[in-house]
A = this chain, B = another copy of it.
Amino acid sequence: MSIDWNTAFAPRALKLTASEIRELLKLINQPDIISFAGGIPDPALFPHAILAETFHEILSNPATRDAALQYSVSEGYQPLREWLAQTYLPKIGIATHADNILITNGSQQGLEFLAKLFIGTGDRIIVTNPSYLGALQAFSLYEPTFVTVPVQDDGVDLAALEAEMAKGAKFFYLTPDFGNPCGATVSLAQRRAMLELAYRYGIAIIEDSAYDQLRYDGEPVPPLLALDSDRLNQPRPLSEATAQGQVIYTGTFSKSIVPALRIGWIVAPQPVLQKLVLMKQASDLHTPTLNQMAMFKVAETIIFDHAAKIRAVYRERRDAMLTALNEFMPDGVSWTEPEGGMFVWVTLPEGLDAAEILAKSIAEIRVAFVPGAAFYPDRSGKNTIRLSFSVPPPEKVRDGIKRLGGLITEAVAALKVDA
C-alpha cells in the first residue's frame, strides 16, 4: 500500500501553496528586467569589510571560536540581548530588559512562533488589509479565521478595529511604520487609540517593526511597545524583566544590515517569552551562535552611522519614484507617499487587474512588480500594485516608472473604451 501523501498530511498542509512573489522572483533575475518586486536591501550597501573582519576575528580567536561553533542556549547570545535592551531599543523609545528578548532567525521566525503560540484552529486574528504577505503565510498554517481591518495612507480604520476587537480575537497584527506592503504610517493618536481598544477588549497587539531604521523624513512615532510600557509606568531602564504589557514586538537587522545572517528578535512580556524560548528549543535549538556574535559586534559598531548612510540612498530612490509617478502615471492612478521603508503602494482605477498588467509588463516592457492582491487575506485589491524602490538606482527607477506609466496609461485608455 503506497502512501497518498495528500491524505497523510495534516489539514494545515492545504495552506501551503506557492506565493505569487516567490514564483515571480524566479523570473526576474534576467539582467534587462527593472525590478520593483522584491522587498530586499541593495547588496551594494552591505557593510562587507567589517563583516569579513568580524567573522575572521571571532573564528581566529581561541577565546571566542568554540562558543561561536558549539550548541548554545535557545534564548540567544546574551551580549546581543543585553545590547538590544540597553542600547538599541532605547534609541527608538523602548524600555525593556534582556530577559524579555528572544533572538530569532529573522523576524519571519518571530511571526511564525507567535502564530504557533496563539492560534488554535478557527481562532479569530485581526490583520490589516492589506498585510505583509510573509505574516499571512506564517499565520495561515495554524488555520485561523482571518478578520481584516482596512489600512490606507491615513492609517487603520479604528471603527472597524473596535468592532472586530469587541468580538474577540487572539491578536491584532500590524506593521505601523511605512508598512509592507502599503507604506502607510500609523499616527501617534491612532496608536494610542489602538492601545486603548486593546486594553478594553483584552487583545494582544503584534507590532512588526522590520523597517525601524528606514525613516527618510518626518518625526519618528513611538512604537506601540513604547506606549504600552509608558502606561505601565515602568522605570527606564527596567531593572528586571517585565511580566506586563500587551504589545509583542518583532524586529530584525535584515533591512538595516544584511538579511542572510537571519538575525531578528521578539520583545514580549515574560509569560509569552518563556513559552517562546521553549518553542525555539523545539524548533531549531538556537539561532546560529556565530551569526549572533558577528551581528552583535557589527551592529554595536556601525548600526546608527550605517543606517544614516543607507537612508540617504533609499531616500533618493523613493524621491525618484514619487517624482516619476507624478510625471508618468495617468489620471485615476493614486499612490502612497511613504516616510520610509521600501514600498510605494499604487491603486489603479477599479476594473484594472494588476496581475494581467504584470504579465504584460514583464513580456513587453521588462518591468517587474508585485500585484497587490497577494497581500489581501480576502484576495481583493486586484487593482493594487506594490512597488519597491530599494534596489534600482534613481535613473533606473525613473526609466522603469516611465515604462510602467506608459503601459498603465494604455490600460486605463482601454478601460474607458470598454466602458
Contacts and interface: CB of A to CB of B under 8 A. Distances in A.
Interface of A: 1-6, 8-13, 16-19, 22, 38, 40-41, 43, 46, 48, 51-52, 55-56, 59-60, 65-66, 68-72, 74, 104-106, 108-109, 112, 116-121, 123, 134, 137-138, 140-142, 170, 199-204, 244, 246, 254, 258-262, 269, 271-272, 275, 278-279, 281-291
Contacts of A51: 59, 65, 69
Nearest to A140: B282
A70 B52 contact: no
Of A46, A105, A118, most B-chain CB atoms within 10 Å: A105
A258 to B, nearest CB: 4
Given A48-B59, A259-B69, A10 B281 contact: no
A411 to B, nearest CB: 31
29 contacts: A1-B200, A2-B244, A3-B204, A5-B269, A10-B116, A10-B118, A10-B123, A10-B170, A12-B116, A38-B71, A43-B69, A46-B66, A48-B59, A51-B65, A52-B55, A52-B60, A69-B258, A69-B259, A71-B259, A71-B260, A104-B284, A108-B282, A108-B283, A112-B282, A134-B285, A141-B282, A262-B285, A262-B288, A283-B283
Contact of A138 (B12, B41, B199, B282): B282
Nearest to A136: B282
Contact of A56 (B2, B56, B118, B138): B56
Nearest to A200: B1
Given A17-B278, A46-B66, A259-B71, A10 B117 contact: yes
B59 A10 contact: no
Contact of A8 (B55, B56, B138, B170): B170
B65 A52 contact: yes
A303 to B, nearest CB: 16
Which 3 pairs from chain A and chain B are nearest by CB?
A52-B59, A1-B202, A43-B66
A66 B261 CA distance: 12
Contacts of A272: 5
Given A10-B117, A65-B46, A202-B3, A108 B170 contact: no
Nearest to A202: B1
B281 A5 contact: no
Contact of A281 (B22, B70, B254, B286): B22
Given A108-B282, A141-B279, 14 more contacts: A5-B269, A5-B271, A5-B272, A12-B116, A38-B71, A52-B59, A70-B260, A71-B259, A72-B260, A108-B283, A109-B283, A112-B282, A260-B288, A288-B291
